[in-house]
Amino acid sequence: MKILVLGNMGYVGPAVIRELTARHPSANVHGFDNAYFAHCLTNAHTLPEQRLTQQFFGDVRDLTEQALDGYDAVVQLAAVSNDPMGDRFAGVTAAINQDATIRIARAAARAGVRNFVFASSCSVYGVAEGGPRTENDPVAPMTAYARSKIGSEDALADIDGDMVITSLRFATACGMSDRLRLDLVLNDFVAGALSEGRITVLSDGSPWRPLIDVADMARAIDWAIQRSADNGGRILRVNTGSNERNHQVRDLAAAVAAALPGTEVSINTAAPVDSRSYQVDFSLFARLAPEHQPQMTLTKSISQLIAGLKGMNFADSQFRASPLMRLRVLQSHIDSGRLSEDLRWYSH
């Protein structure tokens, strides 16, 4: 098997590379990344990319059809990957997350790629009342990031041919990584508890948020690169996570506080309505991928985050202004004259 992972040098990529190379030791697993966050290593004992057969560097907006020749599976992780970055770089979010995804998928189909896997998001459901959302429920994307995901899904569904296309609507990512992000709800709570002895909940704590650990995201991707059309259809959109990990934000804060006794929890009871609140039904994923179900519990994700951050000697109470926030990294590249406003590297 020959596998190409686009955007492998971010937060999720290291776990995906670890999973795919462990599950398929004889496969050629290649990475392709523009290295925005290559230097953002966190408690990694070795460079994650050492596991790869080969690492390529470049911008997915420029990836050629010829570069896709010979691959059995393509995994599209590359994205401007959260709401603050989507707000700051709305045009680039559409260009990278949606336009490049669609162009690459069409090229992959022409190149004879067997499986195309797109990392989508449950954020497409927006603010969703009335119980857990299924794949057949209406979507209500509230942000540039969420709109780019559903726009990609819709266009992928129109690609003709034999290529099996899987849009994994991931729950909110969490967990320890060789390139940790702290601009994610659970990761933020653990970092706050460790550095300040305090968790600050910006909402009133009531919004629902399903979670999935990066290790479980990797397991789902391993399933999707092998999925056959008779298991869910040639074109599939599937909520990816587990019903047990639908949580209200206040319960996440309480779980972190329980793991780190003495932590104070501050909830903003006067907060405006959160732009994302949804429970999600993951029953379809459970039926289609019984051997690739999430294994990480909330307690285990928290304990691994605590261990990983302690291993970094983490104690930065100003972490929200640090390179552990992806928007800060991009802005630093721009301020230093390394990146343009459309997130292209300057040549020097």
Q: What is the pLDDT of residue 274?
A: 63
- Is residue 113 within 8 Å of residue 72, measured between CB atoms? yes
- Is residue 237 within 8 Å of residue 120, measured between CB atoms? yes
Residue-by-residue pLDDT tens, the chain, 348 positions: 999 999 999 999 999 999 999 999 999 999 999 999 999 999 999 999 999 999 999 999 999 999 999 999 999 999 998 778 878 998 999 999 999 999 999 999 999 999 999 999 999 998 877 789 999 999 999 899 999 999 999 999 999 999 999 999 999 999 999 999 999 999 999 999 999 999 999 888 988 999 999 999 999 999 999 999 999 999 999 999 999 999 999 999 999 999 999 999 999 877 676 656 789 999 999 999 999 999 999 999 999 999 999 999 999 999 999 999 999 999 999 999 999 999 999 986
Query: Which H or E run contains 201?
Result: strand 198-201
CB count in 10 Å sphere of residue 77: 24
Using CA atoms, how far residue 175 sits from 11, 124, 130, 211, 302, in Å, is: 10, 22, 28, 9, 7
Task: Tell me the pLDDT tens digit for each residue of 187-231.
Answer: 999 999 999 999 999 888 988 999 999 999 999 999 999 999 999
Q: What is the pLDDT of residue 127?
A: 82
- What percent of the chain has pLDDT above 70? 98
Q: What is the pLDDT of residue 237?
A: 98
Q: What is the pLDDT of residue 275?
A: 55
CA–CA distance, 211 with 241 (Å, rounded to integer): 7
Q: What phi, psi does 347 have (nearest 5°)?
A: -90, 135
CA–CA distance, 340 with 343 (Å, rounded to integer): 5
Q: What is the pLDDT of residue 273?
A: 65
Q: What is the pLDDT of residue 151?
A: 97
Q: What is the pLDDT of residue 119?
A: 98
Q: Which amino acid is at 4?
A: L
Using CA atoms, how far residue 30 sits from 66, 116, 309, in Å, is: 15, 15, 29
- Is residue 287 within 8 Å of residue 245, measured between CB atoms? no
CA–CA distance, 292 with 217 (Å, rounded to integer): 10
Q: What is the pLDDT of residue 85?
A: 84
